[in-house]
Amino acid sequence: MKLRVLFLALSVSCLAQVQVKQSPDRISVTIDGKPFTEFFVGADAVKPYLHPLRSASGKIVTRSYPMETVEGEAKDHPHHRGLWFTHGLVNEVDFWANEKNQKGAGKAGRGVIITRRITAVESGKKKGTIGANFEWQEPSGKGLLAEQRKMTFYSHPTQRWIDFDITLTALEDVVFGDTKEGTFAIRLTTSLEEKHSGKMHSADGKAGEKEVWGKRSPWLDYDGVVDGEKLGLAILDHPSNPRHPTYWHSRGYGLYAANPFGVRDFERDKTKSGDMQLAKGGVVRFRYRLIIHPGDAAEAKIADEFKKYAKVK
C-alpha cells in the first residue's frame, strides 16, 4: 500500500507542468520543464522577491543586479530586486529602499519584511502555488503589518502568468504615506529600457514615460526587444484594489510599479494627500496579474485579458 501511494505521488509530480520546489532560502518554479523564477525568502532578503523572471521562450526580462553582476547593466537603485511588493512610507518607516548597505533612510529608519511561515508549496498540471506569511517590522523589531500572500503560476504555451493575492493586516495603527516610492514593482532588463527598445503603453493609448508616469490606468504594458525577440510585460490592477485604477510609478530606465498611494507626488499638487490609514486589526487586500508575453500589448490582447481578469472574484 505504501509503495502504491508513493507511486501515485511520483506520477502526479511527473505529470505536473508547474513544478514548485522549496529550498532553505528560496522556492523555485519550473513551467513545462523550463526554469521560470525563484522566490527569495531567506534571512538575507530584507524583503521577499522573485528573481529572475523569464518569458516562455526562456529570455530573462528582469534586471540581474544586485543579485548578480552582468556587464552593461545599470548599478543604480540596489533595492530594485526582480519583482517585489513593499512601500516607502509605513508609519514613516521605509520598506522600499531598505537594503542594509544603502545610504539614507526614512524618518523612522529602514524596515525589514521577515518570513514567518511558508503556507503552501504546490505543484500541478495547469498551475502551481506559493503561499507565505510575512511580517513588516520597524527597525526595533516591532511588527507593523502581517502579510498573507498567495502567488499562482500558470502553464501556457507562449506566455507566463502569475496571479498575486496579498492581504495586509495592521498590527498597530498604520499610515501608508504619500510617496512615489512604491509599491508592486518590477525592475526590467537593460534592453527594455526606453533608451534601448522599451516602450510603456497604458490602457488609454498613452505611451512612454512622459505620458504614463504618475497617470492612472487599469493596466500597463512595457514591451521591447530582448535577445532579438519582441516581448512585453503587463501588470493588471484588479478592480477591487484600493483606489483602482492605480497610479503608475514607471520610469524609462526600467522601473515599473503600480502605486495607489503617491497622489501628491504624481499629481504634483501639495494640497492633495494619498495617505491611507489602517486601524489596528484593519485589513487591506491587493490583487495583481502579471503577464509576460510575446509581441506588444495589442498582439497579446492585454485589453481583453484585463476584462477577463476584472471578472475574477
pLDDT band at 1 (very low <50, low <70, confident <90, very high): very low
Q: Using CA atoms, how far apart are residues 265 and 269, in angstroms rounded to an integer?
A: 7
Higher pLDDT, 277 or 44: 277
pTM of the model: 0.94
Q: What is residue 9's predicted lDDT score, i.e. its pLDDT?
A: 44
Report, as an integer, the average pLDDT of 122-138.
98
Q: Is residue 76's pLDDT more than 80?
A: yes
13 vs 302 pLDDT, higher one? 302
pLDDT band at 67 (very low <50, low <70, confident <90, very high): very high
Q: What is the mean pLDDT of residues 294-298?
A: 98
What helix, strand, coil percent values describe the chain, rounded to 5?
Answer: 10, 45, 45
Q: Please write the tens of the pLDDT for every residue from 162-200.
A: 999 999 999 999 999 999 999 999 999 999 999 999 999
**What nine digits make up the cell of 283?**
485589513
Q: Is the pLDDT of residue 11 over 70?
A: no
Q: Which of 79, 75, 76 is nearest to 97 (CA)?
A: 79
> Residue 7: is its pLDDT beyond 60?
no
Q: What is the mean pLDDT of residues 110-134?
A: 97
Q: Is the pLDDT of residue 28 over 50?
A: yes
Res 16: pLDDT: 66
In sequence order, what are the residues at sequence separation of 6 or more whose Cβ sits closer than 8 angstroms to the Cβ of residue 160? 31, 36, 53, 54, 55, 56, 153, 154, 290, 291, 292, 293
Better-predicted residue by pLDDT, 137 or 102: 137
**CATH code linked to domain 18-310:** 2.70.98
* The pLDDT value given to residue 302: 98
Q: Where are the alpha helices (DSSP H) in the chain?
A: 2-15, 209-212, 263-267, 302-310
E runs forming strands in 107-218: 112-122, 127-137, 143-154, 160-170, 174-176, 182-187, 199-202
Q: How confident is the model at residue 312 (pLDDT cuts 50, 70, 90)?
A: very high
Q: How do residues 210-244 score in pLDDT, each as one tens digit? A: 999 999 999 999 999 999 999 999 999 999 999 99
**In the chain, what are the domain boundaries?**
18-310
Cell numbers at 189, concatenated: 532588463
- Using the predicted structure, report yes or no on whether residue 34 has a pLDDT greater than 80: yes
* The three grid cell numbers given for residue 269, joined into one nine-digit string: 499638487
